[in-house]
Amino acid sequence: MNAMETRTTSAILYLDGVHVSFDGFHAINNLSLTLEPGEMRAIIGPNGAGKTTMMDIITGKTKPDEGVVLFDGTTDLTRLDETRIAELGIGRKFQKPTVFESQTVQDNLLLALNVDHSVRGTLFWRGNKAESERIDKVLETIRLTDARHRLAGSLSHGQKQWLEIGMLLAQDPKVLLVDEPVAGMTDVETHLTAELLKEINRNHTVMVVEHDMTFVRELGVKVTCLHEGTVLAEGTIDQVSSNERVIEVYLGR
Amino acid sequence: MTPHVLTRSLDRSATIFILIVAGLGILIPLSNLLLPAGSMFQVPTYLVALWGKYVCYAILALSIDLIWGYCGILSLGHGAFFALGGYAMGMYLMRQIGSRGVYGNPVLPDFMVFLNWPELPWYWYGFDMFWFAALMVFVVPGLLAFLFGWFAFRSRVTGVYLSIITQAMTYALLLGFFRNDFGFGGNNGLTDFKDILGFNVQAEGTRCALFFLSCAALIGAFLICRAVVSSKLGKVLLAIRDAESRTRFLGYRVESYKLFVFTLSACMAGVAGALYVPQVGIINPSEFSPGNSIEAVIWVAVGGRGTLVGAALGAVVVNYAKTFFTSGPLAPYWLFMLGALFILVTLLLPKGIIGTFNTWWDQRKIELGNGAAASAAREDGAAPKPNPAE
């Protein structure tokens, strides 16, 4: 595939004609979507629309049956595994908050830092000032400085969500995929999370999957609505939420 | 403030553990050799050998805890690595017999003469040299673990499936070593040892030296495990245990970590086996039996999975109980007791003896008012959730 070497798109993430089926069920159906560098995009859609499967494809967890998935215009993500894709600079927050519960908040962030991840590197690792400063900064951003020595398992649900976002920050990827960051959060926490994501977006490309329309509106970014594994509508929140089909399959009348 | 890599993480329980093992390693041989026989403080030679066996089991338990307690890999075939290390040592001891065997053949061990083998098979070459055998004690189990892990971890075989294939591995070796044409003495195994490095294996002095070396090896294995689990690599292992795919998405090559720790663990098990064989005087294929490996996992669960001290303690406690009960009228019921023990520990003490003690100790500290310091200072943080099938 020499064509890959000459860049054909300016997009940091480029999906074209992607198909995935599980036992005959078409989870993703001719999905095409592009994400420009520095953009924040909100993805909405009913359950089963393929939002999480799309993230699985981008991060290498699921291999598409056909279609093109390019990172940074040149790298074919369908040939790489999760570790390699993470190393390239694509970070992911899961739908259910997934942190390392038996370790402290601080250690969770330490593990997420994008430093040497080899066996030898971690075996002979010694802490250094630059790393602890980065951890301090992330702790401040996610408002968990006081909880740094607590076990991650003892955090509240909202705090775990933030810790996981913080781990993404420590990982410092080029693209962040964030799956339902405000599920189960209070209104105040939701608002703070929107602020947090906007701040992250200043120097990262972000893709957010979310059901909470108030939250999506607060983000104030371009919205893509998925339905049955394909793009139903794309545009500003007002355009998408006034789209007849979107109202019919997702928002309801 | 840069303490040595082996000592930086020694908390109080680790220090106590090392002092006790070192104390036993020195005092028991001294009492055996210096005090007159019959004195109430004299440890009889048979007890030195018996406790030497427990110490070897404790090393095996540490090696299992390293992968199970800290990385979530439940190996039900670790006895295989122990036995391979034991066979490597047994082969050296067989070659040391020389012409003192029943058939008096200077090169061939008795069982080969009996089977009319014309010459020594190639894989017995080199085992007349101690350094070579000592190397093989690490290399053979390590290599098998590396190959096994390379295939299993790259194919992402995890959880109960991995446990089952480790079990199959040790069973396959059991069947192989039972065969006479395998060249390791068939079902009789290797025995009738005479000398080790020129010293009579039956002599009191040799037994005491072996006991001392076993204690030293236990301390060494403990320090290595400690260094591994308290490094950043140890944190990655816990991360893999608790959320493997999350670790992958952070950019860690999970299979490399598993392969490293599995191979290291197998090497430690091999050393334990090598120290075990001269002390019990025999190695035969029954050491590969799946039941042995499962029993070793029970020791770890009883002592406290994810606590290194607990693993070693569990091995000694369960084996002491085994010796005690199997030598009395309750002998036929030992396996039932072992099974009941495992069930009771899983239900009532899911963190094992040491894990439960640690929880109690931390709570007591919190009640005394310096709770934050107590939980923050505890570096192992490793008491996992009770999930034996993980």
Q: Is A129 on the interface with B (CB under 8 A)?
A: no
Q: Does A146 reside within a domain?
A: no
B201/chain A closest Cα distance in angstroms: 39
Contact A101 B246 (CB under 8 A): no
Q: Does A36 reside within a domain?
A: yes
Contact indicator for A14, A4 with CB cutoff of 8 Å: no
- Compute, in degrees rounded to 10, the torsion defined by CA atoms A195, A200, A206, A211: -20
Q: Is A149 on the interface with B (CB under 8 A)?
A: yes
Chain A residues whose CB is inside 8 A of the B250 CB are 86, 91, 111-112, 117, 167, 171
DSSP code of residue A67: E
Q: Does A144 reside within a domain?
A: no
Q: Does A132 reside within a domain?
A: no
A45/chain B closest Cα distance in angstroms: 24
Contact indicator for A171, A69 with CB cutoff of 8 Å: no
Contact B246 A94 (CB under 8 A): yes
The C-alpha atoms of residue B384 and residue B69 are separated, in whole angstroms, by 7
Q: Does A165 reside within a domain?
A: no
A59/chain B closest Cα distance in angstroms: 8
Contact A122 B254 (CB under 8 A): no
Chain B residues whose CB is inside 8 A of the A58 CB are none
- Write the CATH number for A209: 3.40.50.300
Contact B236 A92 (CB under 8 A): no
Q: Does B68 reside within a domain?
A: yes
Q: Does B314 reside within a domain?
A: no
- Compute, in degrees rounded to 10, the torsion defined by CA atoms A176, A179, A181, A183: 180
Q: Which helix (H) or strand (E) holds A31?
A: strand A25-35
From residue B124, give the alpha-carbon distance in Å to each of B107, B113, B145, B172: 10, 14, 21, 21
The DSSP secondary structure of A136-191, one letter per residue, reads HHHHHHTT-GGGTTSBGGGS-HHHHHHHHHHHHHHH--SEEEEE-TTTT--HHHHH
Domain that holds residue A36: 8-98+171-251
**Residues in A 151-180 with any Cβ partner in B closer than 8 A:** 151, 167, 171
* The token pair that represents A149 in the structure block: 């020595």
Look-up of token digits 């395998």 = B182
The C-alpha atoms of residue B301 and residue B306 are separated, in whole angstroms, by 9
Q: Does B337 reside within a domain?
A: no
Query: Taking Cα atoms as reference points, which of A58, A72, A66 lies closest to residue A8?
Result: A72
Map residue B306 onto helix, strand or coil. Answer: coil
The C-alpha atoms of residue B316 and residue B309 are separated, in whole angstroms, by 11
Of A87, A110, A119, the CB nearest to B256: A119
The C-alpha atoms of residue B248 and residue A90 are separated, in whole angstroms, by 12
Q: Does B335 reside within a domain?
A: no
Contact A100 B246 (CB under 8 A): yes
Which pLDDT belongs to residue B208? 95
From residue B301, give the alpha-carbon distance in Å to each of A252, B53, B351: 54, 19, 7
Q: Does B251 reside within a domain?
A: yes
pLDDT in tens, chain A (253 residues): 444 456 778 899 999 999 999 888 889 999 999 999 999 999 998 888 899 999 999 999 999 999 999 999 889 999 999 999 999 999 999 888 899 999 999 999 999 999 999 999 999 998 899 999 999 999 999 999 999 999 999 999 989 999 999 999 999 999 999 999 998 888 998 999 999 999 899 989 999 999 888 999 999 999 999 999 999 999 999 999 899 999 988 887 6
Give the distance from CA A136 to its chain's centroid.
23
Contact indicator for A139, A166 with CB cutoff of 8 Å: yes
Contact A125 B243 (CB under 8 A): no
Residues A240, A243, A248, A252, CA torsion sign = positive
Q: Does A210 reside within a domain?
A: yes
HSE on the CB side for B72, CA within 13 Å?
Answer: 25
A65/chain B closest Cα distance in angstroms: 20
Chain A residues whose CB is inside 8 A of the B247 CB are 111
Map residue B262 onto helix, strand or coil. Answer: helix
Which pLDDT belongs to residue B369? 67
Within 10 angstroms of residue A206's Cβ, the number of other Cβ atoms is 23
Query: Taking Cα atoms as reference points, which of B293, B307, B228, B232 lies closest to residue B263?
Result: B228
| pTM for this predicted structure | 0.91
* The token pair that represents A94 in the structure block: 């899961």
Chain B residues whose CB is inside 8 A of the A119 CB are 233, 256-257, 260
Contact A119 B257 (CB under 8 A): yes
DSSP code of residue B107: S
Map residue B261 onto helix, strand or coil. Answer: helix
Report the domain count for chain B.
Answer: 1
* The token pair that represents B184 in the structure block: 């390791």
- State the count of interchain CB pairs (< 8 A) between A and B: 89
Give the residues across from A25 on adjacent strands: A22
The C-alpha atoms of residue B25 and residue B34 are separated, in whole angstroms, by 15
* The token pair that represents B142 in the structure block: 């390590």
Q: Does B271 reside within a domain?
A: yes
The C-alpha atoms of residue A60 and residue A83 are separated, in whole angstroms, by 9
The C-alpha atoms of residue B78 and residue B186 are separated, in whole angstroms, by 21
Map residue B76 onto helix, strand or coil. Answer: coil
Q: Does B217 reside within a domain?
A: yes
The C-alpha atoms of residue B152 and residue B279 are separated, in whole angstroms, by 34
- Judged by phi (left if over 0) then psi (alpha if -120 to 50, else beta), residue A38 lies in left
Chain B residues whose CB is inside 8 A of the A55 CB are none
Contact A101 B242 (CB under 8 A): yes
The DSSP secondary structure of A202-230, one letter per residue, reads TTSEEEEE---HHHHHHHT-EEEEEETTE
Contact A125 B383 (CB under 8 A): no
Count of all residues that appear for chain A in the document: 253
Q: Does A110 reside within a domain?
A: no
B385/chain A closest Cα distance in angstroms: 9
The C-alpha atoms of residue A78 and residue B1 are separated, in whole angstroms, by 47
Look-up of token digits 């977006």 = A201
Contact indicator for B170, B293 with CB cutoff of 8 Å: yes
Q: What are phi and psi of A147, to 5 degrees?
A: -100, 15
What angle in degrees, to the nearest 10, is found between the helix axes of B159-178 and B78-97?
A: 20
Q: Does A161 reside within a domain?
A: no
Chain B residues whose CB is inside 8 A of the A112 CB are 250
The C-alpha atoms of residue B47 and residue B54 are separated, in whole angstroms, by 10
Contact B246 A104 (CB under 8 A): no
Query: Taking Cα atoms as reference points, which of B292, B296, B272 lies closest to residue B221?
Result: B272
Of A92, A100, A171, the CB nearest to B239: A100
The C-alpha atoms of residue A18 and residue B362 are separated, in whole angstroms, by 53
Of A61, A112, A125, the CB nearest to B232: A125
Report the domain count for chain A.
Answer: 1
Chain B residue with Cα closest to A177: B249
Positions of chain B with pLDDT lower than 70, given as ranges:
1-10, 369-390
Q: What are phi and psi of B212, to 5 degrees?
A: -60, -45
Which pLDDT belongs to residue B146? 98
Contact indicator for A55, A92 with CB cutoff of 8 Å: yes
Q: What are phi and psi of A94, to 5 degrees?
A: -80, 165
Which pLDDT belongs to residue B250? 94
Interface test with B, best of A102, A104, A116 (most B CBs within 10 A): A102
Q: What are phi and psi of A16, to 5 degrees?
A: -140, 125
The C-alpha atoms of residue B81 and residue B265 are separated, in whole angstroms, by 9
Domain that holds residue B214: 12-299
Chain A residues whose CB is inside 8 A of the B2 CB are 126
Of B231, B256, B381, the CB nearest to A151: B381
B241/chain A closest Cα distance in angstroms: 9
Contact indicator for B305, B315 with CB cutoff of 8 Å: no
Q: Does B304 reside within a domain?
A: no
Of A91, A100, A118, the CB nearest to B238: A100
Contact A118 B256 (CB under 8 A): yes
